Structure 1
Amino acid sequence: MGQAATKSGVVIWGAPETTALLSASGPGSAASSGVSPPAASLSSASANASPLAGSAPAATPLGGESSSFSASPALAVFAETSEEMASPRLVDALKNINSERVSAGGMQMAVVAHSGELYMWGANSEGQLGTGDRRDASVPRLVKALHGKVVKAVACSQEHTVCCLDDGSAYAWGCALNGRLGLHGLSIPSSAGLGVFSPATGARPEPLASACAVCTPRVLESLCGYFIADVACGPYHSAFLGIYEQDRTSLFTCGLGLNGRLGHGDEEDRHLPTAVHALENVNITAIACGAHHTACVTSAGTLYTWGGAAFGKLGLGSTRGSQLLPKHVSGPLRNKVSARGSSLSFFS
């Protein structure tokens, strides 16, 4: 799947079986990388197209299983079709909405309007659309549970979604397996299985027990003492960037701990957002999660990565094993934008 943000809009293209471009009954699969390519020529969609633009003034993570970026002003484009889409098409349901943020997960998408309203569509087997039910949606649906609130950032993954509001609160919904929602008491054991979609066979697992499906946004009360400025999530874990004491930051992670993707020095699951103590003395400006790893950028332009090192995606010189604690990535990466996928990382 490809994505690009321009001055006049956000566009997506690709085969429906590898994106959230599906009808309510159409097939879907987890995006293998989610990496945003350079902006293509979109003269047919806009006469004012421009290169990809990030949202944060310093550095903004893009791509990965939960790619998220900004465009202002912007219109999200999406085609309600089960066939391949080779060129951008406008989403009729959002043509009058001035969208500011877009997030693409494995099988769902989200758009944050300028007004702060949140719209979502795609697969909904675990309530990841936040609409109060588990029905798939082929067109954008307003997340009514957040009516009257102003969403500032959103991140979608395979079966869950997280967001933060202008008041600094954080919300999560969807599959609570392994504690990825950070809602203690709403998860089920790892032994129940990860429920992974198989692109090779096209087979989807049966929906997990309803006890782990949270169909409406739930506030993360454990983070109420912090102003949550940004969120990110991989298929099985989530990250929250908190601000306290004016400009000090703290990174919280929760969910599956395999490969050390949570950054706590072990591989234990966390069912509540837990501070990454190895980063307590740095000022974090941007965060991102891949399928098996996590990354952050500091105000000094320093990049830290941790988690599974397969394919060299951590940029630490190794293609094997795991990095259980955040580690500085050396090289000319000061003030750069980072993008991650399932098995790779990009810096530009």
Structure 2
Amino acid sequence: MKILTLKKTGCVLSLLGLVVVSISCRTTTSSRGHGKLLETREVQLDAGRDFTCLLRSGALKCWGSEAWAEEQLGAGITKVAVGEFHHCVIQEFGLKCWGRNDLGELGDGTQTGRTEPKFVLGLQEGVSDVSVGDQHTCAIQNGAVSCWGSNEKGQLGDGTFGSHRPTPVAVLGLERGVSQVVAGEEHSCALKQGAVYCWGQNSEGQLGDGTFDSRTLPRLVVGLESDVTELVAGGWHNCAIKNSKVYCWGGNSYGQLGDRTYRPSAQARELIEAGFPLRALDASLTHTCANRSGAMVCWGLSHMSLDRNDPQIVDKMESGVGMIALGWEHACVLKDMEVICWGLKNHQNELGDQTRSVFTVPTLVRDLKSNVTNFSSDGAETCVIQFQRVKCSKRNKSRREPANPTFRGARVEGLGAGVSEISVTNRKCAIAEGALKCWGRGAPSEDIASLVPGFESGVTRLSDGGWCVLRDGGVYCFRDGEYTVEKGWESGVTDIVGGYAIKNGALQVRGKTGQLPQTVKGFESGVSKIYKDGRCVVKDGVFVCIGEDLESVRISELRVEHPPDDYLLSNNYFFVVTEGKLMIYSRDGEILRGEIFQGIDSGVTKIERTSMGICILQDDGLKCWETPKSNSRSQGLIKVKVW
């Protein structure tokens, strides 16, 4: 990021697309270093893995995993550098760092982690810039660069490999005239008199010297020998601005170089069709963003643009954007004098709203505010039971999920009243007064439900979207145009979900064609309920989850006091409906602060992902909210209260 020093000379101030109108003054700008100054007040925004800081008028405002540090730092701060597990600030009396210190990255002469900011040895004055990498740190003191911490790939620039340094060492060849330094995962770069130099890890060509050989000393980046004014480093790639054009080099597995390829480049490549000029660059592990005349433009893989290798304007960020700060899975911008954040993760309050959730507020669906008893969806079509009758509505693909969802459903003919259960995830079927009625795939009509011969009564459960049903203790599945009994499940079955069934208290999984079902080891008795995806059950009154797919989400570690009525996995979150409450858990099993999601503490009986977002059945009404997506999180923007 660039520092703009503004001098009062007129009436309108334009700061990177952010326009401030003043009656009494006019301003001009001059550039130097990092951060930004607004009417002599410094404003800078920076983000790391799950931590974001705003620097304004020498005071720091932070939110996320380690926001406590701001209270220990006080005033007089001129620069903040936020990293993955350690962070630094330049203050009146020198450079301070805190966080993880396994390899000496804090520069205090030890390898002891610090929760309290400590001075970096030898850098108590004359420090103008600092940048943090994965496990190393670099700074500029009186125009000279020094680095400390991990040196496994030569990223300290002292001519050696491997020896970690807990105190600063001089980067050879950069003893004077350096204006900016940036640190990637295991490499470093600096801007000296308009030229870019890099050193350290070079497996992706991130040093830009035309090779893929790691270097222990700074190397000039090919094509960037002069006229460079801004420099940023991502994890394994870098970008710079030269003559108002953006050049990127290094890793490109996600299109973060913006050249419409996914090939790494050992030389700087010009960004394709960005719509110049671009300013206020920032880079994360897998993507890069910039300011284009007040619009936020990004390329690469992120929560804003899905795997795009050319620049795209971020939705709802078309104007008024100033500074940009990219975290791992969240982003913050200064827009129209407000800090706005959004992202896929909010476990550590990265978004600054104190909720630790990335979901918008659940809203009652128009026309479904009462008398709803059940619903089902395959993601594209949603059907509900209201007044014991079924209505279905397909998603309008040209429209985003609405903030105030509306259900424009048409009644399914042929069902009449008395519908108790419905499923549309595969076939479309319903149970009406014990009878099985279906429509759509495998049925005589796409729009009119008809009775399935032989299933006029005794049907109590639907599975696989009606592909299988439970009738009088036997399981019947649809094959070759008709329902036939499943071998081994002719009787004694009390519940079915997918390929699982409960028979005489044991959990069984459907056998291969022609084979009998197999009892799941450890679940030979005491099983009373299976949940909708077949991966969790109630055994001996305890909620238990099984299956290899669950090892990554670790649902078994959730502290659920009572067997839930329903649950839903959504990205990094696990929703649980229990005793009428809707609770939310993070993916690693840690219950989120507040426990109850959005204050929903009664009346909930069901949760499911639908064509209208995630929906719950609460007090016979349907409530829905927007879901976090991998290709767009501009919805549900959160304003952070910072001034």
Query: Do both share a fold (TM > 0.5)?
Result: yes
The reply on whether 1:291 has 2:235 as its aligned counterpart is: yes
Per-residue Cα deviation, 1:91-130 (whole angstroms, up to 9, x for no partner): 33212x31111101121000111x2511100000110000
Task: Give, in whole Å, the separation in 2 of the partners of 1:62 and 1:334.
Answer: 22
1:51-66 counterparts in 2 under 5 A?
A: 55=35
What is the SS of the residue equivalent to 1:93? Answer: helix
The reply on whether 1:155 has 2:131 as its aligned counterpart is: yes
The reply on whether 1:311 has 2:254 as its aligned counterpart is: yes
The reply on whether 1:93 has 2:72 as its aligned counterpart is: yes
State the match for 1:205 in structure 2.
none
Contact 2:180 2:231 in 1 (8 A): yes
Q: Post-superposition shift, 1:277?
A: 3.2
Contact 1:288 1:294 in 2 (8 A): yes
Contact 1:232 1:240 in 2 (8 A): yes
The reply on whether 1:241 has 2:191 as its aligned counterpart is: yes
**Of residues 57, 76, 96 in structure 2, which corresponds to 1:119?**
96
What is the SS of the residue equivalent to 2:208? Answer: coil
The reply on whether 1:104 has 2:88 as its aligned counterpart is: no
What is the SS of the residue equivalent to 1:339? Answer: strand
Task: Give, in whole Å, the separation in 1 of the partners of 2:137 and 2:52.
Answer: 12
The reply on whether 1:74 has 2:58 as its aligned counterpart is: yes
1:163-312 counterparts in 2 under 5 A?
A: 163-165=139-141, 167-185=142-160, 187-188=161-162, 212-224=163-175, 226-243=176-193, 249-280=194-225, 282-298=226-242, 300-312=243-255
- Residues 71 and 61 of structure 1: CA distance in aligned 2, closer, same or farther (over 3 Å): closer
- Residues 90 and 158 of structure 1: CA distance in aligned 2, closer, same or farther (over 3 Å): closer
Per-residue Cα deviation, 1:295-333 (whole angstroms, up to 9, x for no partner): 1112x2111001111111111111x22111001113213
Task: Give, in whole Å, the separation in 2 of the partners of 1:70 and 1:242.
Answer: 27
Code of the aligned partner of 2:215: R
- Residues 343 and 289 of structure 1: CA distance in aligned 2, closer, same or farther (over 3 Å): same
Task: Give, in whole Å, the separation in 1 of the partners of 2:168 and 2:56.
Answer: 25
Q: RCO higher in 1 or 2 (8 Å CA, sep ≥ 6)?
A: 1
State the match for 1:49 in structure 2.
none
* TM-score normalised by the chain length of structure 1: 0.66
- Residues 75 and 56 of structure 1: CA distance in aligned 2, closer, same or farther (over 3 Å): closer
- Residues 214 and 241 of structure 1: CA distance in aligned 2, closer, same or farther (over 3 Å): same
Contact 2:246 2:278 in 1 (8 A): no
Code of the aligned partner of 1:262: L
Q: Post-superposition shift, 1:74?
A: 2.9
Q: Post-superposition shift, 1:135?
A: 0.3
- Residues 258 and 85 of structure 1: CA distance in aligned 2, closer, same or farther (over 3 Å): closer
- Residues 229 and 61 of structure 1: CA distance in aligned 2, closer, same or farther (over 3 Å): farther
Answer with 1 or 2: which has the greater Rg. Answer: 2
Task: Give, in whole Å, the separation in 1 of the partners of 2:72 and 2:235.
Answer: 31
Task: Give, in whole Å, the separation in 2 of the partners of 1:257 and 1:344.
Answer: 18
What is the SS of the residue equivalent to 2:223? Answer: helix
What is the SS of the residue equivalent to 1:263? Answer: coil
Contact 2:279 2:290 in 1 (8 A): yes
What is the SS of the residue equivalent to 1:173? Answer: strand
- Residues 307 and 337 of structure 1: CA distance in aligned 2, closer, same or farther (over 3 Å): same
**Of residues 288, 291, 298 in structure 2, which corresponds to 1:345?**
288
| Further displaced range: 135-144 or 326-335 | 326-335
| Further displaced range: 269-278 or 118-127 | 269-278
- Residues 143 and 85 of structure 1: CA distance in aligned 2, closer, same or farther (over 3 Å): closer
Task: Give, in whole Å, the separation in 1 of the partners of 2:199 and 2:45.
Answer: 19
Code of the aligned partner of 1:257: N
State the match for 2:117 in structure 1.
140
CA RMSD of aligned residues (A): 2.6
Query: Alignment length, in residue pairs?
Result: 250
Task: Give, in whole Å, the separation in 1 of the partners of 2:61 and 2:238.
Answer: 28
Q: Post-superposition shift, 1:178?
A: 1.1
Q: Post-superposition shift, 1:270?
A: 0.7
Task: Give, in whole Å, the separation in 1 of the partners of 2:224 and 2:189.
Answer: 13
Any stretches of 5+ residues in structure 1 without a counterpart?
1-53, 189-211, 244-248
State the match for 1:246 in structure 2.
none
Q: Post-superposition shift, 1:61?
A: 11
Code of the aligned partner of 1:305: C
* TM-score normalised by the chain length of structure 2: 0.37
State the match for 2:623 in structure 1.
none
Contact 2:81 2:87 in 1 (8 A): yes
Task: Give, in whole Å, the separation in 1 of the partners of 2:147 and 2:52.
Answer: 16
Task: Give, in whole Å, the separation in 1 of the partners of 2:53 and 2:277.
Answer: 20
Per-residue Cα deviation, 1:184-208 (whole angstroms, up to 9, x for no partner): 12x13xxxxxxxxxxxxxxxxxxxx
Q: Which has the higher strand share?
A: 2
What is the SS of the residue equivalent to 2:267? Answer: strand
Task: Give, in whole Å, the separation in 2 of the partners of 1:218 and 1:313.
Answer: 31
